[in-house]
Chains A and B, each alone.
Chain A
Amino acid sequence: MSNAVTVSAASKIFPLARGKRVVALEAIDLTVAPGEFVSLIGPSGCGKSTLLRLIADLDQPTAGRIEVFGKSAKQARIDQDYGIAFQQAGLLPWRTVTGNIELPLELHGIGKRARRARAAELLALVGLSDFADRYPDQLSGGMQQRVAIARSLAESPELLLMDEPFGALDEMTRERMQNELVRLCAETGAAVVFVTHSIPEAVFLSDRVVVMSPRPGRILEIVPVGLGSAGNRDDGLREASGFFAAVKAVREALHGVPAEEVRADSAAGVPSGAPGAEVLYASEAPAPRGLETR
């Protein structure tokens, strides 16, 4: 079976005014297996959103190839092979919660009854059944984001693309949403590419964490987390030693410790100090050269 996502030697250059240009991504290689949860982490401006947009065919790479389920990214978009959620919920304010979740189904010609049924199902899934007829401006930010996630799941995509969907949420809502997402993924078996700023979030959710660095945007390292199948993850995991070890590995990768050392640490399962709510800051340190980026 083909990979959910295959990125081969992709780069993206944005031309700026007066002949200047930004190398947003350089020589990116990445594969995501079906059903696999992969997070992209790195300081602001390292090209996480750009990479996600390339996979979604919202932008085209300057060089390289992107395949989604063995097809071109464009064909996959046309075939509606992925669902997408952004940092902003991006709900249509003039539609009810139900109307927003039904939007993709409606645009793709699904009948009214089937739409209603599916929307009700998804509302139950994200715990918003009581808010079906409300308008977005009557919901909190966290609720709006849950609606957006329900909308991204509407067509049961095999691939979910999420760009910091919990970025604007408070820590408590965020952890609850993470638990919900893990449960959703276990239920739907979808592959996920998830952009985040938070190390614990990436580790908690992912099978693998892709650590990126800016200027030019590149993959520093891919940290395998391997904390077990999504179905077994719960709040207890947040205290497990394997969790701390993976957090440490990701943090060291981000801050430029040689990859070999990080691997050794993580293999030995050495627990680090409590990660707390560590959130990555934009590191200006130059990326170490010559790391394996696969």
Chain B
Amino acid sequence: MRAAGAGRVRMILAPVILGVVVLVLWQLAVVGFAIKPYVLPSPTAIGDQFTRAFGSIWSGTRVTGFNALIGLLLGAVFGILFAIVSALVRVFDEATLPVVTALAVVPIVALAPVLYTMFGAGAETGRQLIAALAVFIPVYVNTLRGLRQVRPVHRDLMRAYAVSSWQATRTVTLPGALPFLFTGLRIASSLAVISALIAEYFGGPVAGLGKSITSAAAYSNYALAYAFVLGSIVLGLVFYLLTLALEKIATRHSPA
């Protein structure tokens, strides 16, 4: 009990101390060596910009975060549906395999210019679709793996109970696949944020974090650019921690 508590304190304290040390060294280096802001702004300058521009960072976070969230939901829904159909229909699985493999190796953001011409760069649709596509792959792959992990003893049990295949799917297959699905979702959450953010680099009148980073840098306001980067990091962490918590809940009673 005591040891576990001490372990937890150390687990949290150690990275915090390391972070503080890095920040102090960074500050000292920038001041001591008179490093130019366009090379590397100091932490205090970034912090100063962060508080001053908080309004626009917050609104940028909301735009990018909303796109990432829509992408995450859309990609997850389609990933799960496709995985279920793939698990049930072998032909479908064989047909989708090459497409999914291709999607998995293509950097999805490369599609941004194409999607912008389809939907217009001003609309958020293109960016949401990019996030959704990036999310689709890990959710699909992990869910499908989970759906195929039904234990033989559970399959026998369902047959012994003479239930319909849909009942069996609902009773053992889907719940058994949930931990896998949430692992996929946790991996996908970071991809959703990264894709939504990078997609903004490809132009358009956007109020998101990605666009703000590029325009701040274009106006040589490097500390402000880093302040937006800081906002992106926080956004990514929020997505990650929320899906990590979901995963922990979903795998709570999984056998070791």
Q: Which residues of A contact B (CB under 8 A)?
A: 53, 56-58, 77-78, 80, 82, 84, 86, 88, 90, 92-94, 103-104, 107-108, 135-137
Contact, CB under 8 Å: A86 / B156 = yes
**Contact partners of A104 in chain B: CB under 8 A:** 161
In the complex, what residue of chain B is closest to A155 when comparing beta carbons?
B161
Query: Contact between A58 and B161 (Cβ–Cβ < 8 Å)?
Result: no
Interface residues of B in 193-208 (CB under 8 A from A): none
B115 to chain A, nearest CB (A): 39
Alpha-carbon distance between A135 and B255 when the two chains are bound, in angstroms: 10
Is B8 on the interface with A (CB-CB < 8 A)?
Answer: no
Q: Tell me, yes or no, whether B90 is within 8 Å of chain A by CB.
A: no
Do residues B162 and A78 form an inter-chain contact, with CB atoms below 8 A? Answer: yes
Q: Could you mark each residue 40-70 of chain B with 1 if its beta carbon is under 8 Å from any beta carbon of chain A, else 0?
A: 0000000000000000000000000000000
Chain B residues touching A, majority SS: helix
A82, A90, A135: the one within 8 Å of B157 (CB): A90
> Contact between A88 and B175 (Cβ–Cβ < 8 Å)?
no
Q: Which residues of B contact A103 (CB under 8 A)?
A: 161, 171
Interface flag for B172 (CB, 8 Å): yes
Residue pair A94, B153 in contact (C-beta under 8 Å)? no
Chain A to chain B contacts (Cβ below 8 Å), 28 pairs: A53-B156, A56-B156, A58-B159, A58-B160, A77-B159, A77-B160, A77-B162, A78-B162, A84-B157, A86-B153, A86-B157, A90-B157, A92-B154, A92-B171, A92-B172, A93-B253, A93-B254, A93-B255, A94-B253, A94-B254, A103-B171, A104-B161, A107-B161, A107-B163, A107-B171, A108-B161, A137-B254, A137-B255
5 additional contacts, CB 8 Å, given A84-B160, A137-B254? A58-B160, A78-B162, A82-B160, A136-B253, A136-B255
Q: Which residues of A contact B178 (CB under 8 A)?
A: 94
Q: Which residue of chain A has the shortest Cβ distance to B158 in the bound complex? A: A107
CB distance from A173 to the nearest CB of B (A): 20
Q: How distant is B70 from chain A, measured CB to nearest CB, in Å?
A: 29
Binding site for A on B (CB under 8 A): 151, 153-154, 156-157, 159-163, 167, 171-172, 175-176, 178, 253-256
CB <8 Å contact, A90 and B151: yes
Known: A88-B153, A136-B253, A137-B253. A94 touches B175 (CB 8 A): yes
- Chain B residues lying within 8 Å of A77, measured Cβ to Cβ, are 159-160, 162
Docked complex Cα distance between A57 and B175 (Å):
25
Give the shortest distance, in Å, between A265 (CB) and chain B (any CB).
39
> Is A90 a contact partner of B154 (Cβ separation < 8 A)?
yes
**Beta-carbon nearest neighbor of A83 in chain B:** B160
Most buried by A among B153, B176, B178, B255: B153
What is the distance, in angstroms, from B172's C-beta to the closest C-beta of chain A? 7
User: What residues on A are CB-neighbors of B153 within 8 Å?
Assistant: 86, 88, 90
Q: Given known contacts A78-B162, A92-B172, A92-B175, is B157 in contact with A137 (CB within 8 Å)? A: no
Residues from chain B with a CB closer than 8 A to the CB of A82 are 160
What distance in Å separates the Cβ of A161 from its nearest Cβ neighbour in chain B?
8
Which B residues touch A108, using CB under 8 A?
Answer: 161
Q: Which residues of B contact A90 (CB under 8 A)?
A: 151, 153-154, 156-157
Contacts of A94 in B (CB 8 A): 175-176, 178, 253-254
Q: Let me know if A80 and B253 touch, CB within 8 A.
A: no
- What is the CA–CA distance of A86 and B153 in the complex, to the nearest angstrom? 8
**A107 contact from B156, B167, B175, B256, Cβ within 8 A:** B167
What's the Cα separation between A104 and B168 when bound, in Å?
Answer: 12
Q: Which 6 A-B pairs have the closest CB atoms?
A: A90-B153, A135-B253, A78-B162, A93-B253, A88-B153, A84-B160
What residue in chain A is nearest B168 (Cβ atoms)?
Answer: A107
A84, B156: Cα distance in complex, Å: 10
Interface hub of A77, A93, A104, A136 (most chain B Cβ within 10 A) = A93
Task: Write out the residue numbers on chain B whose beta carbons fall within 8 Å of the beta carbon of A93.
Answer: 253-255
Across the interface, name the chain A residue whose C-beta is closest to B162.
Answer: A78
Write out the residue numbers on chain A whose beta carbons fall within 8 Å of the beta carbon of B160.
56, 58, 77, 82, 84
What is the CA–CA distance of A57 and B172 in the complex, to the nearest angstrom?
20
Contacts of B171 in A (CB 8 A): 92, 103, 107
CB contacts (< 8 Å) of B151 on chain A: these are 90
Residues of B within 8 A of A107 (CB): 161, 163, 167, 171
Bound together, the chains give a CA A104 to CA B162 distance in angstroms of 10
